[in-house]
Structures are given as C-alpha cells and as structure tokens.
Amino acid sequence: MKLITRLFGPKPQPVLIYQPGQRVGSVDPVWPVIECPSGMAQKIIAQEAHNRDITPIILGSMRSLELIHEAQQASDPANALRRSSLFDFDAWMRQAHEEWAEAPDMPPRGPVYSHAPHGDAIDMAVWNPLTSAPFKTVYIGLFPTADVTQIPGLITGGGWNSYPEAGVHIALHRRWRDRYGARLIGHGHDSMTFHVLRPPRDLAGSLDLAEEFYAYCPDLIDQGFGNLDTLAAALRNAPTWHFWWD
C-alpha cells in the first residue's frame, strides 16, 4: 500500500522562483518571489535566511501578493526610513493615552479570558483564517536588504484606517527587535507575524507591551482578545506575535 501511495499518490507541488520581470499571475514583482506549497515554507525560509544580502518574508496567498503589489507601487522606502528616524515613541504613546481618555474604559480592562496558545510563527504566517487551514500555495518575497525592519517601507506606505504609516512600523519593529528579539516573518496585505526570542516574562511587562500593541493595532483587542488583561496574558512567554488590521 505504501508503494502504491508513492507511485500513484498526489505529486508534490513544484517550487517556482520568479525574478523581477517574470509575471506571477497578474503581478510584475520588483523583487524575486518564490511560489511554494505552504508545507515547504519552513524549509525555504531556513535556506534563504543563510543569504545575508536578502530577507525572506512570507507574503501569503496570491490575493495577498496582488494587494501588496498594488500598495508597493505607491511606497516610498527612503521617506519611510526618514520618518522612522523621527519617530518619538513617548510622544506617540502620550497621544494614544489622550485619545483613549476621550472614551470611557479605553483600552478595555477585564477578566482574563481563555485564549489559544501561540503557534509557530511560520505556521501562523501561512494560515488562512477563512478556512482554518494553511493556504495550499504561498508566496515568499526575497527582499534586497539584510535589515528586516526595513520591510514595511519596501512593501507599503501604510496610513489607512488604523494601519500605521510605514515609518511607524519600522520604528516600532526596531524597538521590539532590540527589546524582545522580535523578527518579522510574515507580512500579508493586512497582517504581520513575528518570531520572538525574548518575550515579556512578567505581568507588568506584558501589560506595558499590550498597551503598545493596542495603540499599534486596536483590532487585537477590539476584534480579538477583548481586553488588555487577556492580551497581556497571551503575550507572556509568547514566541509568536500576530497582528491584523481591517
């Protein structure tokens, strides 16, 4: 039976590499893109990570790739980097607290509700929340930088709805890299996933970080964890962070 399965079972889906100028569906990429089965993403990320001149990032499905490509056409990486250097974290948090003070119970506090444990960052980056299963095929961008914090500036200008502009992403990603060893693994058109080496270990540190996250991505609480305390509990010792914006 095993022999029959090997001979006549489904053939493995090929891995394709598209160079700039080679069309991927309706997309003309400006950086190399790998098309692969989601189950091969772990191996490909590990292989490409050895190249110090590029950064591999999981971009998600074909639809995500198309939306990223549309946003990328309007991006301004040099301006995003300049704005990130001018970012004032303390002033940004003061503004968030001032906005929260205008509405009662913001950010919401409450009892700690049960929450699903954080999975592997790559597994989460290839996950399709609409089907509760991994995407069959995913796309991995190979970006021409060794600094993973520059990726938001290469992909999008941001600044829509509650989604921050690229300079804010870059500045906060650098803060979280330095403090928590957080590294961007997946960047969909409306989501980001990080692998985290040094997550907060205590309640106070987790609550402080949860406030940063709420200022950065309100949907984490408004459409997810429900209150600051549950988010903070989920962040303690968590090896993976995942953000999404509507």
Name the band, by pLDDT with cuts 50, 70 and 90, for residue 156: confident
Name the band, by pLDDT with cuts 50, 70 and 90, for residue 13: low
Name the band, by pLDDT with cuts 50, 70 and 90, for residue 3: very low
Q: Which two tokens stand for residue 232?
A: 């903070």
What is the rounded CA–CA span in Å between residue 71 and residue 26? 14
Sheet holding 16-18, edge to edge: 16-18, 33-37, 137-143, 55-60, 182-187, 191-196, 240-244
Would you say residue 198 has pLDDT above 90?
yes
Model pTM?
A: 0.91
Q: Which two tokens stand for residue 153?
A: 């500036």
Q: What angle do CA 129, 225, 192 make, to 5 degrees?
A: 50
What is the rounded CA–CA span in Å between residue 152 and residue 189? 11
In angstroms, how far is CA 129 from the centroid of its own chain? 14
Q: String of b and e for 37-76 (b: at least 16 CB within 10 Å)?
A: bbebbeebbeebeeeeebbbbbbbbbebbebbbeebeebe
- DSSP element (H, E) containing 94: helix 89-101
* Amino acid letter for position 111: P
What is the rounded CA–CA span in Å between residue 183 and residue 148? 7
What is the rounded CA–CA span in Å between residue 138 and residue 60? 5
Cβ(240)–Cβ(124) below 8 Å: yes
Would you say residue 155 has pLDDT above 50?
yes
Give per-residue pLDDT as tens, 90-124: 999 999 999 999 987 788 898 888 877 778 999 99
Of 56-65, 106-115, 131-140, the poorest mean pLDDT is in 106-115
Work out the average pLDDT over 203-222.
96
Q: Is the dihedral of CA 43, 47, 52, 57 positive or negative?
A: negative
Q: Is the dihedral of CA 44, 189, 185, 165 positive or negative?
A: positive
Work out the average pLDDT over 130-134.
92
* Amino acid letter for position 222: D
What is the rounded CA–CA span in Å between residue 143 and residue 14? 22
